[in-house]
Amino acid sequence: MTARLLDLDIVNPRGWGEWGLPEDPVEHGHQVTDNDIENLKKHYGVKISHHTINNNKYKLISLLHKDATDTVVSILGGDSKYYVIDSNNIPNGLIMPFFEYCIAKKLNLIIIDPDHPLEHAWPSRMSLFPDDPLDFYNSSINATKDLKRKIWFKNFNIQKKWFTNAREFYIQHHARIKKDLFLKNKILFEIHTFITDIEKMLEYIKNLTNSQLWLMGHCSGANIISMIHDINQYNHLYRGIIFLNPWWKLRWREIGLDEMKYFLTTMTKPLLIVQHAEDPCGGTHPEIAKKIINDTNSSSTRYSELNGGIDQGCPHFSVGYHGFRGIEHKVIDEINNFILDYGKI
């Protein structure tokens, strides 16, 4: 497996993030094609299943072990799509090298890959309202005028904070928000759609594998998992949570970490964070990961900081430290030990 990774030669890839724009060439890789799927099946032995949930299409990229008692379900960051890089006609990319190590540990690994790129993995960017948030808020919640205004001032501290508190608003009121609000905002709509659909995906995976499920989020995928936990509708379907280089905000140094609330409710699940000490991505840093652990205030948490590997490519993509390239086996060791320690508690 190491030889395959060393075959990659991507010096200056561009794309979304600090040094690129969405319209730039995506030289860090490409979305999985039908040909890639055939190569993945051939070289890795993975299985691909297609699912339509509420008219939304998803692929599950899976490698299952017949003796596995635990399944790691991966929710990717970025735009949540799975990207691969061709290396001697062998598709590589974040998570894919994990497969061989998971098999050695008798762990199942399943990647959730939506049919098209989604913006839901950037929840800190979501804006709930148009130019007049108070008026739109009042027209979008089923409540009396006085209650609407009371909730507004309690949760948003007048209009200027509506943007920074958008996530809190969604967690607290998602069940009472009219559909009109979702339809008027693409990012919020995709967040709500994915979080709604994931129930069916987790139920399917649980029945398929007959195993304990562990949700794993890389980078901004960790944000989505924290929202799934806080909403607390599907928490009975999985055993614990794993974050890989969790992302918070690009300008976290200027903002400071005091306002960070990764979980808005009491953590009820075992939590593992695996962080690369030298991850250069602007929104992920050991200080962020450690703050999440400290704020969780639970005895069922574990923090692991790794060093080394291969530093290559754009900092916010996964061909270097941000994707634990070259030390994937260490990541799987940490995950396996965590599951062994907390899986039966």
Q: What distance in Å separates the CA atoms of residue 79 and residue 114, rounded to the nearest whole number?
A: 10
Q: What distance in Å separates the CA atoms of residue 131 and residue 137, rounded to the nearest whole number?
A: 11
CB 118 within 8 A of CB 190: yes
Residue 27 C-beta-side C-alpha neighbours within 13 Å: 15
Q: Is the pLDDT of residue 32 over 70?
A: yes
pLDDT of residue 28: 53
What is the pLDDT confidence band of residue 121, given thresholds at 50, 70 and 90?
Answer: low
Give the predicted TM-score (pTM) of the model.
0.83
Q: Which residue has the higher pLDDT, 327 or 168?
A: 327
Please compute the mean of the pLDDT values over residues 179-194 and round it to a whole number.
78
Which fold would CATH assign to domain 2-126+185-342?
Rossmann fold (3.40.50)
- Amino acid at residue number 104: A
Q: Is the pLDDT of residue 326 over 70?
A: yes
Across the beta sheet with 70-75, what order do the strands follow? 47-53, 56-63, 108-114, 70-75, 212-218, 240-244, 271-276, 301-306
Q: What distance in Å separates the CA atoms of residue 279 and residue 315, rounded to the nearest whole number?
A: 7
Q: Which residue has the higher pLDDT, 198 or 31?
A: 198
pLDDT of residue 13: 42
Q: Is the pLDDT of residue 16 over 60?
A: no
Q: What distance in Å separates the CA atoms of residue 151 and residue 11, rounded to the nearest whole number?
A: 50
Mean per-residue pLDDT of the chain: 79
What is the pLDDT confidence band of residue 292, given thresholds at 50, 70 and 90?
Answer: very high
Tokens of 98: 């994990």
pLDDT of residue 173: 77
Q: Is the pLDDT of residue 80 over 80?
A: yes
Backbone φ and ψ of 222, nearest 5° = -65, -35
pLDDT of residue 131: 39
Q: Is the pLDDT of residue 192 over 60?
A: yes
Q: Is the pLDDT of residue 14 over 50?
A: no
Residue 267 C-beta-side C-alpha neighbours within 13 Å: 23
Q: Which residue has the higher pLDDT, 4 or 237?
A: 237
pLDDT of residue 111: 93
As beta bridge partners, residue 80 has none
pLDDT of residue 50: 94
Show me where the domains of the chain are located: 2-126+185-342, 133-173
Q: Which residue has the higher pLDDT, 143 or 56?
A: 56
CB 56 within 8 A of CB 197: yes
Please compute the mean of the pLDDT values over residues 74-84 and round it to a whole number.
85
